[in-house]
A and B are shown apart, each in its own frame.
Chain A
Amino acid sequence: MPKRKKKDEEEEIGFVTTLSVPGEGSVGLTGSWRIFIPVLDEGKCNKCLLCWIYCPEACITKDIRIDYDYCKGCGICAEECPSKAIVMEKEEKKE
């Protein structure tokens, strides 16, 4: 039988409180929430930046690149794009 760790060998709890550190992906890769995926047609995009500012998740960069790691697929960018440069497509999920 393996010996149980003695109490006083364990790491001391010490000062533990409800402090969180800032970070991206605070609940993981939220791209996994997506059912529909926004697809950008760069030819149609006129760089109006509306999708950049409206994306609630800060997933579109100012030079209009979508971060699929975190994009939740809400569809706001496609809905608001005045040039119809973004369309929502059913996402094929790889296992």
Chain B
Amino acid sequence: MKLVDTGNHFAAWGARLARVEVVSAYPITPQTQVIEEISRFIDEGEMDCEYIPVESEHSAMAAMIGSAAMGVRSFSATSSHGLAYMHELLHWAAGIRLPMVMVNVNRAMGPGWNIWCDHQDALAARDTGWIQLYCASHQEVLDTVIQAYRISEDFKVILPVMVCYDAIFISHSYMQVEVPDQENVDRFLPPFRSLWKLDLDYPLTHGSVIYPDDYEEVRFSMFQGLDNARGAIRRAAEEYRDIIGNYHGDMVETYRIDDADCALVAMGSMASECKMAVDMLRDKGYRCGLVRVRSYRPFPIAELRELLSPMRAVMVLDRGVSFGLEGALFSEVKAAIYGHGDAIVYNLITGLGGRDVRYDLVAERTEAALEGKMAPESNWPSLRLTEHHRVSKRGLEEYWKREGVL
């Protein structure tokens, strides 16, 4: 069935087709439509599911942990401040080894209420033990939510999965998507499975005090679970292609990379912009290609090594920043390919708070890098001081004068 709808509504379709049985979520722009659509599905009898209208995101994740621990497939959706608010429980959900899927609509962090896209929210949740998958299209959102349950419930993984997609660009825009048949989704995704649950016939206690002598192995086991997720992500992508037909790459997706000596690396919808930049650079005679990181955690170390070692230059685009260092993806790409090949790695930090990432700007900067006119450190190519900044600054300067600050 073909449908034209928003990215948010297609995320809801993913949960519906995955036969999710408990949803607990709290509204936040730009995620709200996900849960509105799910409650509509439930009200209209199209989805057989308990919906818990919790009073905060912290509680949304607590309820998810409760329902998944009972052995029931669970789903949530959030964004930016909501994700930050539930941070403590992101650690808990992964640490206690529960399979579940949550959508995060990537949105900028306040202050300055900004409901537009960047990746800062999910980057700050990077080290919680969650698998993080980034989508670049509406179709990929729907397909990835379903795939995420396969990955999460894989016995070698048993960890929660966060499906990330960009605010507004994907969440609120309308696109046509092929909605797969329930029958095929059922063939792809067996009923919920996990490695433990709260069982009346076999009482176990989960998550009590644990001493230094025992703790490290628990964390290593999580580390291995994420490691094993690499295989699970590949298998899910391939089997999904075989059964349902769509394919968006596995750990990464590539574009015109085969004969390239220069690669762009990006995540999310920005990668589509990068495809145009690649075409433009190719037209100018540069042999450019694109690697879109689809799985940010686990990080595609082997793929990047293989793909990037022949390059002479790599341009990493970050839609977020690790303050006091550089773009986080930039650091990680450098670390992954260290000692493999001799590409010089460049960094653009751009598109924060929903600012447009223009393909011509990306192309121009990449060209500058290739021509040796740019330093391989963090560049903020879209910065400019506008009249708005000036009005604000003048007001503040008046205040400083009055207070004798300057």
Contacts and interface: CB of A to CB of B under 8 A. Distances in A.
B203 A22 contact: yes
B204 A20 contact: yes
Interface in B213-254: 217-218, 220-221, 224-225
A16 B208 contact: no
Interface in A1-35: 13-22
Interface string B189-215: 000000110000001111110100000
Interface in A47-65: none
Contacts of B107: none
B233 to A, nearest CB: 19
B376 interface: no
B204 A17 contact: no
Contacts of A21: 204-205
A17 B96 contact: yes
A15 B195 contact: yes
Contacts of B207: 18
A19 B95 contact: no
Interface residues of A, number: 10
A17 B221 contact: yes
B292 interface: no
A19 B220 contact: no
Contact of A19 (B158, B206, B224, B225): B206
Nearest to A12: B224
B97 interface: yes
A14 to B, nearest CB: 7
A17 B95 CA distance: 8
Contacts of A14: 221, 224
Interface in B60-118: 95-97
A63 B208 CA distance: 33
Contact of B158 (A15, A18, A20): A15
A14 B204 CA distance: 19
29 contacts: A13-B221, A13-B224, A14-B221, A14-B224, A15-B97, A15-B221, A15-B225, A16-B218, A16-B220, A17-B95, A17-B96, A17-B97, A17-B196, A17-B206, A18-B96, A18-B207, A18-B208, A18-B210, A18-B218, A19-B196, A19-B204, A19-B205, A19-B206, A20-B206, A20-B208, A21-B204, A22-B203, A22-B204, A22-B205
